[in-house]
Chain A
Amino acid sequence: MSALNPPIAPGQTREASSFGQLIRRNGWVIGLYLLVGALLITARLIRPEYGAPDLQSLATAVLPLAFAAAAQTVVVISGGIDLSVGALMAFTSVTAAVIMKDRGDEFGLIAIVLALALGLVAGAVNGLLVVISRVPDIIVTLAMSFVWAGCALLVLNSPGGGAADWVKSLSVGSYVTEWLPRALVLALVAIGVVWIPLRRSRMGLAIYAIGSNQVAALRSGVDVRRTKVLAYAVCGLFAAMGGLALTMNTGIGTPVPGPYTLSSVAAIVLGGVSLAGGRGGMLGPLAAAFILALIRSNLFFMGVDPNYSTVIQGVILVIVVMIGGLATLRRARA
């Protein structure tokens, strides 16, 4: 699994060659997984009957956010940000739902392929606009979030559509043992199939390179514009997976974007991806997505009003980034 989250971001190899720094860089992600474990144990303590079925439903519920976080991760590593992730998810979700409505199983495959292609193209359009317009990423994707949300409404103007049964079954239940949720396997396989080869290729290296220092990357012969478009296209692809996950979970398509844009940003920051670009991996944001969902469900088990859990999630996010800020300050002074 280490390939998903290389201990050392390329471009920082020399700086991070000492063993202590290697541990420190991985420390955050290790800490996140320990936190996931602690939260699962807490869930068990609060509710003794917490078991495999709960784990399965947790993984199912996390799936859309996990893909959204993966999408955001790629773009943020490349030094950008995509505020249209939520709208793209809605767009691809309704497209898939409309294709599958009242049709046979074979249309499920068509819907998946088309939705993924649509996400890839829409993401590439975002990237092209960023490159061509030279307007900051945040503004371009903000404007495009209106466009994609509008497109979603054009495809389907109220929640509806359908999903093939085998598609719906992809994210529920488990494989082999009941402790291995299908949704978790789906997330790891889908993200891994795209990310691991990309990460090991020159293009992946280029994505990290333009994120950590665009000018240096350009001087070293990286095609910055092409790499940027690629990063946004991959982001769109992951967003399309998120949209498909929404359709899988609900069995329909909803044209109104969910809260996924903002929570994806929260998840990647919690996951140790630097908003400044060039740093971070996939494993951290994935853990962060689970942490956000686990906190919510644990609070629910404790009988806390769900509204408080929004507050608590916000507070945790703020505290975590403050601690992160303090740590960076310390390191800068040391």
Chain B
Amino acid sequence: MTTPDHTAVASAGWLSVGAWQRRFREQPLLPLLLLLALLVLLLFTIQPGLLGRPQAWLNSTIRFATPLAILAACQTLTMLTGGIDLSVATVASATGFIVASQAPSQGPAVAIVLGLVVAACFGLINGIGVSIFRVQPLIMTLGTGLVAAGLLVIYQRFVITAGARVPEPVVWLASGTSFGFFPNCLLLLVPLSAVIIIGLRRTGYGRLLYAVGDNPIAARLAGVRVWQVLLVLYMLSGILAGIAGVVVAGVTNTAAPSGADSYLLPSVAAAVIGGTSIFGGRGGYSGTIVGAFILTVLASVLTVLKAPEPVRMIVYGAIILSVAAAYARVTSDR
């Protein structure tokens, strides 16, 4: 790529390529928001009917983007340390199904706690493998994902699936609205995102994640107990996946043991589109949230276009790739 000389370009006016490039580099969220706005504009152009009831459209978009955004948080956090968590979708499915199957007999609160404990256990196993045994995160989480999927099928045989249903409060939280316009899932997404964003920027633990991802050896020499950081991280990722699983169960309102499986690839894609580097040390959660919304709006654009399934998949893949490539170019330092 030819990087233009900034001083020369800057004088050429604020509309020049170089000026935009600099602006984007300083504000990496800007191009993402622009892309999101463009997609929304496109959606409204091809489906003018949506203009009549923007509220309903907004609500459903938020409802579908929320579980994706939470699952993408797992990927963002693990990617910041140079890892990845491929077990999130299975863990989310497992949690959702445990909640739905245990709620009728144990009550929703106990069921949710049970589900999250299971999710945290899988996170702990990932953490032990990655931090203590130094297994590549990709392969470790792949293995636990397999184990979780198998255990889920076995568990499914022991519970009476017929009685399983998603508890009311979960459905209310995931897909209900208050005052006729306020989607309840924001009650979960907003505080959760605030905690993650502030946690990453302002807390010592958040900075440690960047430090470990940027240069694990330097972090270790500086006195960071890298293994403890990673152990906690993968447990957090498991718990977040569990929360996302509960939301997915609430959104779909079905007790399916594979409810969240299809979220795996989009969760990685959302984090990457959001500007988090898979090599660690760079990125943040705000971009990921925008990435999750971009993917959700993109999916509805493709649905509205009534594109056949194969075309939709091809366009989806092509757009993920081109956004990631464009983003890498626009914000690259070199």
Contacts and interface: CB of A to CB of B under 8 A. Distances in A.
Nearest to B326: A133
B200 interface: no
B52 to A, nearest CB: 32
B317 A143 contact: yes
Contact of A275 (B139, B145, B147, B272): B139
Contacts, number: 150
Contact of A151 (B135, B272, B314, B324): B314
A307 B149 CA distance: 9
A159 interface: no
A143 B269 contact: yes
Contacts of B309: 150, 153, 157
B265 A146 contact: yes
A135 B321 contact: yes
Contacts of A326: 133
Nearest to B313: A150
Contact of A146 (B134, B146, B320, B328): B320
A136 B278 contact: yes
B220 to A, nearest CB: 13
Counting from the closest, the 8 A-B pairs by CB-CB distance are: A146-B317, A314-B146, A150-B313, A310-B150, A311-B150, A153-B310, A314-B147, A133-B325
Contacts of B278: 136, 138-139
B57 interface: no
Interface in B303-334: 309-314, 316-318, 320-321, 324-325, 328-329, 332
Contacts of B321: 129, 133, 135, 139-140, 143-144
B140 interface: yes
A130 to B, nearest CB: 10
Given A318-B147, A325-B134, A147 B318 contact: yes
Contacts of B318: 143, 147
Size class of the A contact interface (CB-based, 8 Å): 35 or more
Nearest to B87: A314
Contacts of A219: none
A131 B47 CA distance: 38
A317 interface: yes
B142 A308 contact: no
B150 A262 contact: no
A150 B310 contact: yes
A328 interface: yes
A321 interface: yes
A147 to B, nearest CB: 4
B151 interface: yes
Interface in B85-127: 125
Interface in A279-334: 305, 307-315, 317-318, 321-322, 324-326, 328-329
A265 B317 contact: no
A309 to B, nearest CB: 8
Contacts of A140: 321, 324
A329 B134 CA distance: 8
Interface string B204-242: 000000000000000000000000000000000000000
B138 interface: yes
A328 B134 contact: yes
B144 interface: yes
Q: A81, A133, A139, A305: which has the most chain B beta carbons within 10 Å?
A: A139
Nearest to B316: A146
26 contacts: A129-B321, A132-B325, A133-B321, A134-B328, A135-B324, A136-B279, A139-B268, A140-B321, A147-B313, A147-B314, A149-B313, A150-B310, A150-B314, A150-B316, A154-B311, A275-B139, A307-B157, A312-B150, A314-B150, A318-B144, A321-B129, A321-B140, A322-B129, A328-B134, A329-B133, A329-B134
